[in-house]
Structure 1
């Protein structure tokens, strides 16, 4: 193999990103998109595989901070921009990039790595488990009624230009982050992502619009959306396409959804990435006409098992010895005693007899509290070695709210 793997040089970004675009269909992005992703790329955390002066592989990571069960927000690598040229497949380039990336993350002390997979079957062999599902829905708002809670009418709604309301929207988003595992803090520059609005990405819909929910002069919720007009012989059949939404209390939440439900000349509301436990599902008159689909979202990898398990809390007391298999990152392999509760946790290597046996992939899937260990055990992915240990650990690892990764990267 003649390829050279090295850290990206800033002046190589256009060539490097061009390889990524080619790998994803060779459809050039808009100037707005390219400018944003160039600004967000962290060259020192990005890798390129080069065959002479030709880039044949890309991989990178963003230095995120992610909420984990218990409310802590911890450093997490957002793995991104992974590609291999079709001329250089089956040569070990992807494996070498994943190997180098995880080694580097371990050296910098980041215990978690997160990604959203274009092809889910790729990343399991590198230890990533599907940890945060997402929900999609197409709601027939002409047939489905929305029942709202008391206090909804006390919320004032106000239209605003998205770029002018960005600071207020981000303030609401920031308050929501600790309450849901998987949510990502917005580092400087990332507040631009929800506002990205190139015409080529609208799919025939309007420019981005914003509605704010207010109470007592304070913004307590927001929704960013587009409207796609449509008509048939019976009249208007437009679609509301929801981008991002957040609210601080049930009344503000309901007021925003009622607004989206009743936009003139529309009869459908489309959501593409929402939490699996989205509250509107309990406000509708007919869930069948909402065409809800749950699918994979965020994939998580524990780079350092001990540090990662200590970074979160546990909703019930737990004292369990985990026998962890990790062929790709052998420093994680072995037995770990995890003790913890809602106040904190400790996880250290041990020679004690194991209570549960699992791979780091299953540990990643269960980490955010959305995939029960008992479910993984029923699939044969976790083995109980001490009676009662599985139920205890599964309860402890759970989360009262579903984990959710709010946007791609």
Structure 2
């Protein structure tokens, strides 16, 4: 069998996307979602694997800017639309696409690749480490209330058309990006993602709704997007508030938005997924035991240009450590590197000095955004300390004071 891997042409997009639908179960995507991703696809970053006239593999990437510790927005390739036809599994199709994609990212000067995984066990072998986690909550609002901070009662809330409020909501989101690693600065067109609202995706819930919080000056200080799914049982109303987004930099506005969501008439529960693991919501609820929370992986990070990636972020403490890095898939990263950081500046260079720590590039990806500690990875046998004290020093330097978070997928 002769397979050809190449960049997708404009007139091949429909065939390429049809293959992707097949790889993910064969259910055709609704027209509005399909058109959104047609407009967002970056063809020069999109690969197809072809068996004659048939597309049997797909992989693409978006050109993002990712917030890293210290607030810098670092270019990152958002790997997406990865799929292999069921007829062509176990033939090296995925490996060939990952190989080509990482080579292309490197040749273009990229330092980072990131992805969200449909099956998280797949991507570790290509050097991706799980760098962020997210929490889903299911809250019985008949038994849990919001314990709001001072100033909450002075926040004005207003129901608005999601389309008409889009610019105001985007300003709120943009103001938060640099303050939390893992967030993506939305590129043009990505603001539309949250507003695509096909009835087929609602499972009986209402169309998308938006409520904004306004400060004393009348400016929008926060927003929440949500749907309501109505239901009834013998005891009365049993509706659910399905929360999509809640963003507000001000604590009072943040609490006001959640209190509003908790108190919507004819509902008994609030459900939200993809929340940060250190969400202030968990400190606002009156009874945390009535919050059913489940955690799952979020953003997977791959260092493509190791020294450039490590120099792009800030560190929470001074560090001078030599790391022995294993990277079988991108061998240009393998070897010993000396990482030094002080006064907000970092430098990473090759060295022949004895190693203080040994780990793979996957562990560096996991620790890169500051949410996974090198100490915890060492406890799992994934990092080896070769110089006493080096693990504590490096772990303190990599750790952040806010949990990294990817607020939406791609």
Q: Give the conservation status (yes or no) of the 8 Å contact 2:134–2:274.
A: yes
SS in 1 for 2:65: strand
Superimposed CA distance per residue, residues 173-214 of structure 1 (whole angstroms, 9 cap, x where no aligned partner): 000000110000111000100111010111110000000000
Q: Give the conservation status (yes or no) of the 8 Å contact 1:106–1:304.
A: yes
Q: Give the conservation status (yes or no) of the 8 Å contact 1:315–1:342.
A: no
Q: Distance in 2 between the 1:272 and 1:23 partners?
A: 25
1:342 CA drift (Å): 5.0
The aligned counterpart of 2:98 is 98
Q: Distance in 2 between the 1:241 and 1:174 partners?
A: 23
Q: Give the conservation status (yes or no) of the 8 Å contact 2:70–2:313.
A: yes
> Aligned ranges for residues 7-406 of structure 1 at < 5 Å?
7-215=7-215, 216-341=217-342, 343-406=344-407
Q: Give the conservation status (yes or no) of the 8 Å contact 1:320–1:338.
A: yes
Q: Distance in 2 between the 1:396 and 1:340 partners?
A: 8
Q: Distance in 1 between the 2:10 and 2:350 partners?
A: 40
1:341 CA drift (Å): 3.4
CA 1:237–1:342: 2 relative to 1, 3 Å: farther
Q: Distance in 2 between the 1:289 and 1:282 partners?
A: 13
SS in 1 for 2:363: helix
Count of aligned pairs between the two proteins: 409
CA RMSD of aligned residues (A): 0.7
1:89 CA drift (Å): 0.7
SS in 2 for 1:203: coil
Q: Give the conservation status (yes or no) of the 8 Å contact 2:357–2:386.
A: yes
Structure 2 residue ranges without an equivalent (≥5): none
Q: Give the conservation status (yes or no) of the 8 Å contact 1:65–1:75.
A: yes
Q: Give the conservation status (yes or no) of the 8 Å contact 2:140–2:268.
A: yes
Q: Distance in 2 between the 1:383 and 1:333 partners?
A: 16
Q: Distance in 1 between the 2:80 and 2:278 partners?
A: 26
Q: Distance in 2 between the 1:175 and 1:106 partners?
A: 30
Q: Give the conservation status (yes or no) of the 8 Å contact 1:320–1:393.
A: yes
Q: Give the conservation status (yes or no) of the 8 Å contact 2:19–2:57.
A: yes
Q: Give the conservation status (yes or no) of the 8 Å contact 2:145–2:259.
A: no
Structure 1 residue ranges without an equivalent (≥5): none
SS in 2 for 1:301: strand
The aligned counterpart of 1:5 is 5
Q: Distance in 1 between the 2:277 and 2:390 partners?
A: 27
Q: Give the conservation status (yes or no) of the 8 Å contact 1:70–1:342.
A: no
Q: Distance in 2 between the 1:230 and 1:25 partners?
A: 30
Superimposed CA distance per residue, residues 266-302 of structure 1 (whole angstroms, 9 cap, x where no aligned partner): 0100011110100010111221211011111111100
Q: Give the conservation status (yes or no) of the 8 Å contact 1:318–1:340.
A: yes
Q: Distance in 1 between the 2:206 and 2:312 partners?
A: 43
Q: Give the conservation status (yes or no) of the 8 Å contact 2:276–2:404.
A: yes
Superimposed CA distance per residue, residues 335-393 of structure 1 (whole angstroms, 9 cap, x where no aligned partner): 11111135121111111111100000000000001110000000000000111010011
Q: Distance in 1 between the 2:400 and 2:141 partners?
A: 31
Q: Give the conservation status (yes or no) of the 8 Å contact 1:60–1:80.
A: yes
Superimposed CA distance per residue, residues 2-50 of structure 1 (whole angstroms, 9 cap, x where no aligned partner): 1100001011000000000011111111110000000000000000000
1:138 CA drift (Å): 0.4
Q: Provide the TM-score with structure 2 as the length reference.
A: 0.99
CA 1:29–1:342: 2 relative to 1, 3 Å: farther
Q: Distance in 2 between the 1:178 and 1:122 partners?
A: 30
Question: Which runs of 4 or more aligned residues in structure 1 lie more than 4 Å from their structure 2 counterparts after TM superposition?
Answer: none
